[in-house]
Structure formats: structure tokens, C-alpha cells
């Protein structure tokens, strides 16, 4: 059988040949990739030469070329375009991959060679990047259990295998829950308040489900959020909201509470095997924050201000409820609805007034224009490229001088095979081979409002901001100029490139460029742009409080030190009580569907990263405002010191090279109106 994963990709720009890859290709490719990596590691171990940077550290860095290529395709598709067959392979593969990685990290002879280079690192003539690679490699072995005794190593392997399967089960349950719930409306009166866009999308969904003449709403964000913000039927808002916040919490086959219990306990045990007090200490040791106390300190600085503003928002909405002749207390499913009304009252601004100017294609082109103004780069859409789904778009990105910079995939809309949320990933990370730069292949994956029979895809304000955010991650990957692809930016620094891009999304100069009415082509009126500016800090009490609540929840789970039988809902309630969370707001993610922290280690004990990085991005954007938001020198300094080199040396040192000093918290408070 010809396996397209086992040879160099004979495609334009060597992107994955998606159409040629079948599910049955993956397992043989993974097994061959592991075989090749083991052979490369064996060569490092058996060489009679003294351990050196080249024959040990660099050789190890390059040992997984095939496995890395196969993994990037497989794991990206299990997130963006999964299937029953891929999920079965994932489950079979998880313990195999865990065991393979442990075989390398727990190999005593290999670790001895790595340690030998590490111990003499200061005497070697290494670049800053090479020194960072040596230190990271050594620390990864130690964090991977290399210093444990044999008995502890055996248990360490068992923990990693168990966790790998639990993570998969957690994510698959959430995906199934997202697809399971449908609100079927058969009375047109129940559509009161909804925009024509929402109704058209619900009609389309009903037709897909063979429910012609009805309307179907789901808890996917493009359906859920407009419903909560606009539907006048309070009972239906409650049904939608409760369906969303109770995902994977129904004590049935898709319930995630037992999985959380096992994950938390295994993480405690794993961290303590390695000598850490808890899992948070293990994670934060490699982040900018360094320890949980520093994170709690930042959260505690912001939360009182956020709660104070949120309580004022609640009071404004409660006043409106009373003024409308109702006597109920504002509930969480009322928050978006009455916030929308207050926003209209205070700023004469309605989301449905803005959306016609936020046609997806125009927003995308405006985002590309911003990057061109800042960095001189250009984006050219490529036709007839390999794609994993017909909706996916592909762009070549070029430097100002025409040199190839990288490839960018764009995948915008929800489908049942795609997990929820929005993210940026890569099919190939940038690195150097034989002195030549290997260009990255980046991908942005979203769940935005889809086009309907009557209108193109029209984004909400939040979706527009999210697209700019993920584009910032893509630029970080595209501009990367590192010799070693394993040098990854710390989790609490990686959101700086993404979050700073959000600042440009609604700048008047940028809106004037891209915000064109999808029917008339007319630019967004100046008075509407002014309204958007004035409303920029609106509802930040809610937005900040729900986010911080999830950050506290994540940190509370992972600062636990005692293995026990956890009552997940009771733990969560206690966590919220501790921070004096108000009843009208729930955390952005409740534990049973908190994918960031329980479907892998990606943001575990690190969901705070967004607000930590916002201290940086708010301060960094001040530099642009001081010199002009399209100042080429400022953009060049940001690209050179932050985007190109993330992960090659200490993150704060890179930031200070750009800004000249460490950031303060005041710009963040100003941006959010939390003074």
C-alpha cells in the first residue's frame, strides 16, 4: 500500500496531501515514525564520541522528523475534521505514544549524555539559542522522570498512559455533548427578538436535520450567543443557557466528572513523584509566572475591580427589568439579553447594526491589510491546493521583497466533526535545515457564523476580534526565525502576539478600510464607528469576571496536594464562593467542559495566561500608540524581538528588548475600564 505519510510531501510548498491520506495510513506511519526515532536515539547512545552539542542535543532535536510530520497532520485533523475512525485510532494510539515518549525520556544512558553536555554548557561556545536548547532538553528529561528510581519510573509511565486516554475521553465527550443538544422551535412567535441572520441559520440547520418548517438552535457559539443576546422568550433562553453550562455533567455516558477526578489525582501524583508540591508548581516552573503565588497575586489585583464593575452592570440591568414591568431577579441566562438592551440604551448601539459591515471576507482582507501596513507582507489565495475540507482556504504569505514566508490555512465555520472554540496551529513549524529556512505551514481554525441562503458569513464583534486574535498567533508562527522548532514560547507569553492584534480590529483607520456593508458596499458610517469606540469598555465587568473565575478554578484544581475522591460540582462551588463570585455570572468554562485544562496539559494551571499576557499586550500597544499604530520602526522592533525569537531566551528579556522596561498593570485596567 502506498502511504503518502511515509515520504516527503510532493505537493505545492510541501503541504500535507490531505486528499490522499486515508485513516488506514496513520497507524503504519506512526509506527514507522517511532521506529525511526528509536533508531536515531540508539545512534546517539551508541556513538563512541564524547557527548557534544552536535552529536547529542542537536541530534536528538532532529530525531523525530517523520513522527513529527505524521503527528501534526493526525492531531490537527482530530480537532478540525475528526471521524469515528480517527477517534478509534486516537484511543489506540494514546498509550502507545505515551510509552514511546517515556522510553526516550527515561533512558538512563541517553540522559547521562544529555547531562554531560548540560554540565559543561558554560564552557562550550554556544549561541544564546543553542544554550537555551541545551537547558530545555535537560529540563525536559528531568521533568520527564529521568532522575526517578526504577520503581518511580514504572509508576510514572503508568500515570502518563492513563492520562493520555483520559484526555481523549474528556475531549470526545465534550464534542459529542456539543452536537447532542438541539432546541427545536416550531412556533414562529418564539423567534421574537432574533435577527434575520440567526433565523436563517436556524432554518438551514432544521433543513439539515430534516425538520423543514421548524427552526433548530444549538449550543455551538454562532447559534447560542445571538440567541442569548436577543431571544425575548426567557424560558427558551434558560434552556439554551443551561444546556451549555451543564455539558458533560448529566451523570450519563458523556459525563466528565469521574474523568476530572482521575486527572486531578494523577496530576498530583505525577507532580509529587517529580518533587513538586502540586501540579501547578510543575507547570509554572517553566512559565513566566514561575509559581502559583505570583498568579494568584495578579488575579487578586484585578478581581475586586472586575466584580465592582460587574455589580454596577447588574444593577443597570436590574433597573431595566423593573422598568419593563417585570419582578424577576436577573439570572445568568438574562445577562446577555439585558446587556444588549442597556448597550442600546446607553450607546444607541445594536450588534445587528454592526454585523452587515463585518462580512467575513472583508474582515479577513482587513486583517491582512493591517499586517501589510505593519510588516510589508502580502497574502495571495491559492487555488487547487490540498485541503482537508472543501470550506478551507489557503494563502501564500510573502515578504515585502517577494520572498516566500509561509502558508496559511483558514477554516471558519462549525461542523460536527470540529471541536468548539477557535485556535491556531501548524502543520509544519519553522526551523533551519542545512542552513536553509524551512517555511512554516500555519492554520487558523474557528467556529464562526456560517453563510446562509440569503447572506454571506457576517461576523459578530466578538468573532471579528477572535479572528484578529488567532491571526496574531499565525503571524507569530509565520515570522518565527529559530533554528530549532522545539523552542516554544512560554504559555503565558504566547498570548502576547495574538492579543496585541486585537487592538487593531476596531481602530477607526482599520474599520474605514475593511468595514463595508455586504449589500451596498458602503463604508461603515463615522457615527457608527464612534458608537463602537464609546462602547468599547462596555460589559467589561462581566467579561473580566467570567474569565478570571475560570482562571481561579483552573488554579484551584491544580494547587491541590492531596489525592482524594473529588466532588467536582462541590469543589467548583467552593472555588467560586472563595472569590465571592456573584450569582448572575458563571465562570467562562465549568469544569466538565473545560477543554483548555482537562483535554491535555496545554493550558492546565495556565488559563491565567491570557490575562498575564494582556498586561504585556496592553503595555506593548502603548508603544504603537506613542509612535502611530502603523509605525514601521515599532513594528520592526516587535517582529525582531518578540515574534521571531519567542522561546529562544527568557521571555521577559525579549520583551524588555522591545519595550525597554517591564510592563505595569495600569494599561490593562485602562483598556478594560476597570480603574
Residues catalogued as catalytic: 470
Q: Give the span between the Cα atoms of 21 and 269, in whole angstroms.
A: 39
Cα separation, 474 vs 239, whole angstroms: 37
Q: Please tell me whether residue 185 adopts helix, strand or coil conformation.
A: strand
- Show Cβ contacts of residue 486 under 8 Å, excluding neighbours closer than 6 positions: 61, 133, 136
What's the CA gap between 366 and 259, in Å, rounded?
Answer: 43
Count Cβ atoms below 10 Å from residue 343 Cβ, excluding itself.
18
For 409, phi and psi rounded to 5 degrees?
-90, 145
Rounded to whole angstroms, the Cα distance separating 411 from 418 reads: 10
Asked if 271 and 278 count as a contact pair (C-beta separation under 8 A), the reply is yes
Q: How far is CA 387 from CA 422, 425, 451, 456, in A?
A: 18, 15, 20, 22
Residues in the chain: 675
Helix (H) / strand (E) element for 28: namely: helix 23-46
Coil, helix or strand for 14?
A: helix
In angstroms, the CA 458 to CA 442 distance is 24
Q: Comparing C-alpha atoms, which of 441, 379, 375 is closest to residue 407?
A: 441
For residue 71, give the H/E element and its range: helix 65-80
Q: How far is CA 169 from CA 249, 256, 278, 590, 592, in A?
A: 14, 8, 24, 17, 12
Q: Tell me the C-alpha to C-alpha distance, in Å, between residue 24 and each of 20, 85, 99.
A: 11, 9, 22
664 contacts 626 by C-beta, under 8 angstroms = no
Q: How far apart are CA 66 and CA 625, in angstroms?
A: 45
Amino acid at each position: 500500500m502506498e502511504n503518502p505519510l511515509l515520504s516527503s510531501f510532493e505537493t505545492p510548498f510541501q503541504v500535507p496531501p490531505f486528499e490522499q491520506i486515508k485513516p488506514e495510513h496513520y497507524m503504519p506511519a506512526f509506527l514507522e515514525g517511532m521506529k525511526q526515532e528509536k533508531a536515531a536515539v540508539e545512534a546517539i547512545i551508541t556513538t563512541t564520541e564524547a557527548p557534544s552539542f552536535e552529536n547529542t542535543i542537536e541530534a536528538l532535536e532532529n530525531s523525530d522528523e517523520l513522527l513529527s510530520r505524521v503527528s501534526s497532520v493526525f492531531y490537527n485533523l482530530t480537532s478540525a475534521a475528526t471521524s469515528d475512525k480517527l477517534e478509534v485510532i486516537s484511543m489506540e494510539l494514546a498509550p502507545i505514544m505515551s510509552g514511546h515518549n517515556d522510553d526516550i525520556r527515561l533512558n538512563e544512558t541517553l540522559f547521562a549524555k544529555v547531562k554531560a553536555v548540560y554540565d559543561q554548557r558554560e564552557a562550550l561556545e554556544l549561541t544564546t539559542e543553542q544554550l537555551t536548547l541545551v537547558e530545555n532538553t535537560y529540563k525536559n528529561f528531568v521533568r520527564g522522570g529521568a532522575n526517578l528510581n526504577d520503581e518511580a519510573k514504572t509508576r510514572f509511565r503508568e500515570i502518563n498512559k492513563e492520562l493520555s486516554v483520559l484526555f481523549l475521553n474528556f475531549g470526545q465527550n465534550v464534542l459529542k455533548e456539543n452536537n447532542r443538544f438541539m432546541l427545536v422551535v416550531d412556533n414562529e412567535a418564539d423567534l421574537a427578538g432574533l435577527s434575520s441572520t440567526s433565523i436563517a441559520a436556524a432554518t438551514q440547520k432544521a433543513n439539515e436535520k430534516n425538520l423543514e418548517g421548524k427552526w433548530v438552535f444549538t449550543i455551538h457559539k454562532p447559534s447560542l450567543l445571538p440567541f442569548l443576546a436577543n431571544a425575548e422568550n426567557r424560558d427558551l433562553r434558560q434552556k439554551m443557557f443551561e444546556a451549555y453550562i451543564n455539558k458533560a455533567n448529566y451523570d450519563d455516558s458523556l459525563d466528565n466528572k469521574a474523568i476530572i477526578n482521575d486527572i486531578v489525582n494523577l496530576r498530583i501524583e505525577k507532580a509529587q513523584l517529580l518533587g513538586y508540591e502540586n501540579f501547578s508548581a510543575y507547570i509554572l516552573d517553566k512559565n513566566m509566572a514561575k509559581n502559583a503565588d505570583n498568579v494568584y497575586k495578579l488575579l487578586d489585583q484585578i478581581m475586586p475591580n472586575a466584580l465592582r464593575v460587574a455589580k454596577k452592570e447588574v444593577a443597570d440591568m436590574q433597573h431595566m427589568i423593573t422598568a419593563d414591568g417585570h419582578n424577576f431577579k436577573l439570572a445568568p441566562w438574562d445577562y446577555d439579553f439585558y446587556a444588549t438592551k442597556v448597550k442600546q440604551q446607553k450607546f444607541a448601539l445594536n450588534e445587528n447594526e454592526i454585523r452587515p459591515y463585518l462580512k467575513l471576507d472583508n474582515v479577513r482582507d482587513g486583517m491582512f491589510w493591517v499586517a501589510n501596513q505593519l510588516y510589508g507582507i502580502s497574502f495571495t489565495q491559492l487555488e487547487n491546493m490540498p485541503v482537508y475540507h472543501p470550506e478551507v482556504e489557503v494563502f501564500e504569505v510573502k515578504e515585502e521583497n517577494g520572498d516566500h514566508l509561509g502558508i496559511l490555512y483558514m477554516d471558519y465555520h462549525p461542523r460536527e466533526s470540529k471541536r468548539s472554540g477557535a485556535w491556531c496551529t501548524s502543520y509544519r513549524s519553522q526551523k533551519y535545515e542545512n542552513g536553509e529556512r524551512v517555511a512554516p505551514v500555519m492554520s487558523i481554525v474557528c467556529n464562526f457564523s456560517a453563510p446562509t441562503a440569503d447572506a454571506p458569513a457576517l461576523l459578530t464583534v466578538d468573532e471579528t476580534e477572535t479572528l484578529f486574535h488567532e491571526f496574531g498567533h499565525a503571524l507569530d508562527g509565520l515570522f518565527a526565525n529559530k533554528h530549532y522548532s522545539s523552542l516554544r514560547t512560554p504559555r503565558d507569553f504566547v498570548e502576547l502576539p495574538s492579543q496585541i492584534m486585537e487592538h487593531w480590529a476596531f481602530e477607526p483607520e482599520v474599520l474605514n478600510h475593511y468595514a463595508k456593508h455586504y449589500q451596498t458596499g458602503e463604508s461603515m458610517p463615522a457615527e457608527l464607528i464612534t458608537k463602537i469606540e464609546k462602547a468599547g469598555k462596555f460589559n467589561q465587568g462581566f467579561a473580566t469576571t467570567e474569565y478570571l473565575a475560570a482562571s481561579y478554578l483552573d488554579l484551584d484544581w491544580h494547587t491541590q496536594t492531596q489525592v482524594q475522591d473529588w466532588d467536582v460540582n462541590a469543589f467548583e462551588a467552593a472555588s467560586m464562593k472563595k472569590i465571592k463570585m456573584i450569582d448572575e455570572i458563571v465562570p467562562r468554562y465549568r469544569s466538565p467542559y473545560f477543554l483548555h485544562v482537562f483535554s491535555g496539559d496545554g493550558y492546565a494551571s495556565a488559563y491565567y495566561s491570557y490575562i498575564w499576557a494582556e498586561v504585556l499586550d496592553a503595555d506593548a500597544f502603548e508603544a504603537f500608540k506613542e509612535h502611530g499604530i502603523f509605525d514601521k520602526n515599532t513594528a520592526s522592533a516587535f517582529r525582531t524581538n518578540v515574534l521571531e525569537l519567542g522561546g529562544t531566551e527568557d521571555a521577559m528579556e525579549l520583551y524588555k528588548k522591545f519595550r525597554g522596561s517591564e510592563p505595569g498593570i495600569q494599561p490593562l485596567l485602562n483598556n478594560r475600564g476597570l480603574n
